[in-house]
Amino acid sequence: MLGFEFGYSVADPLTLVLWEAQFGDFANTAQVIIDNFIASSEVKWQQPCDLVLLLPHGHEGQGPEHSSARLERYLSLCAADNIRVCIPTTAAQYFHLLRRQVRDAKRIPLVVMTPKSTLRHPGTMSNPREVADGAFELVLDDARAKDKDAVRRILACSGKVYFDLQAEQEKRRNPEIAVVRIEQLYPFPEWNVSNVLGAYAHAREVVWVQEEPQNQGAWNFVRQRIADSLPFGRAIRYVGRPESPNTATGSLKAHRREQAALVNAAFS
């Protein structure tokens, strides 16, 4: 199926072709097409492609096979601006991301991580003006951080975990913590990350928060890239699940316990 969609996107460059997996792991058996065609067709054969992969991805307590689209696999394929990997967290961001995909003169495949729980999450809603105006933002700053000089810790993240951090921040109302979202992981927006993080002049540390185990997700991809974007003397550290050969627990109770622990660790 994915091979057919790749061919369709190649044959008809004026059509927006989207392939959606019911759950993220459904792309596992399509990995041959992803590796040999989607990620490398241009460098091997000068064959451009702008196929969009919509891959549900997010730890929601539904078991290992429903939790991960293997974000780390796609990030390991990234080189020479061959694909885009994004995790939009608002309706407007998603709209502008697809609009950019259609309008961009350079045809590049797009991988979108789309958590199922955010389909109905009130925090993802956008007003009509946000959809009608503007463009896709590579990095979203913390709109609640009014006094940037008071911030001492920046929580950087991508995707669904932002809403857990946001909910905790609303409970604690800690002016010393800001939550920043990186909406595009590749090509990594170095300037945008540096510009947003640099605005917090008194922040002593940056914490990367993710739901995935430490050996998975985006941590190994972003850690040095974020570090290179920070002013001299600032450090970046990790908060999330420990390393694991499995993507997620199969127990809803264990999931909730793990999720609460990592959110608490980000704020502690």
pLDDT, tens only, 162-189: 999 999 999 998 999 999 999 999 999 9
Instruction: Note whether 2-132 and 140-267 share their fold.
Output: yes
Pick among 3.40.630.30, 3.40.710.10, 3.90.550.10, 3.40.50.12470: CATH of 2-132? 3.40.50.12470
pLDDT digits (tens, 9 = 90+) for 11-34: 998 999 999 988 777 888 899 999
| Tokens coding 138 | 């590579």
Whether pLDDT at 117 is above 90 = no
pLDDT band, very low/low/confident/very high, at 85 (cuts 50, 70, 90)? very high
- What gap in Å lies between CA 160 and CA 20, rounded to an integer? 18
- Is the Cα dihedral 17, 35, 79, 93 positive or negative? positive
Instruction: Kindly list the domain boundaries of the chain, sorted by start residue.
Output: 2-132, 140-267
Mean pLDDT taken over the chain: 94
Mean pLDDT of 244-263: 95
Which pLDDT value is given to residue 149? 94
pTM above 0.85, yes or no: yes
| Mean pLDDT, range 203-223, rounded to an integer | 96
Q: Right CATH number for 140-267 from 3.30.70.240, 3.40.50.11610, 3.40.50.620, 3.20.20.70?
A: 3.40.50.11610
Contact present, 189 and 229 (Cβ < 8 Å): no
Q: Which amino acid is at 104?
A: D
The whole-number pLDDT of residue 26 equals: 80
Whole-angstrom distance, CA of residue 15 vs CA of residue 51: 9
Contact 21, 27 (CB under 8 A): yes
d(CA 208, CA 262): 11
d(CA 226, CA 208): 9
Strands 139-140 and 177-182: antiparallel
Cβ atoms of 84 and 186 closer than 8 Å:
yes
Q: How far is CA 3 from CA 37, 38, 74, in A?
A: 8, 9, 17
Percent of the chain with pLDDT over 70: 100
Q: Which amino acid is at 18?
A: L
pLDDT band at residue 100, thresholds of 50, 70 and 90?
A: very high
What is the distance between the alpha carbons of residues 215 and 45, in angstroms, rounded to a whole number? Answer: 33
Question: What residues are paired with 242 via a beta bridge?
Answer: none
Q: Which helix (H) or strand (E) is 194 found in, with range?
A: helix 190-198
In this structure, the chain runs to a length of 268
**Is the pLDDT at 264 greater than 80, yes or no?**
yes
Could you give the CA distance from residue 20 to residue 57 in angstroms, rounded to a whole number?
Answer: 12
With contact defined as beta carbons under 8 Å apart, do 161 and 210 qualify?
yes
pLDDT in the model for residue 93? 97
**80-89, 111-120, 182-191, 205-214: range with lowest mean pLDDT:** 111-120
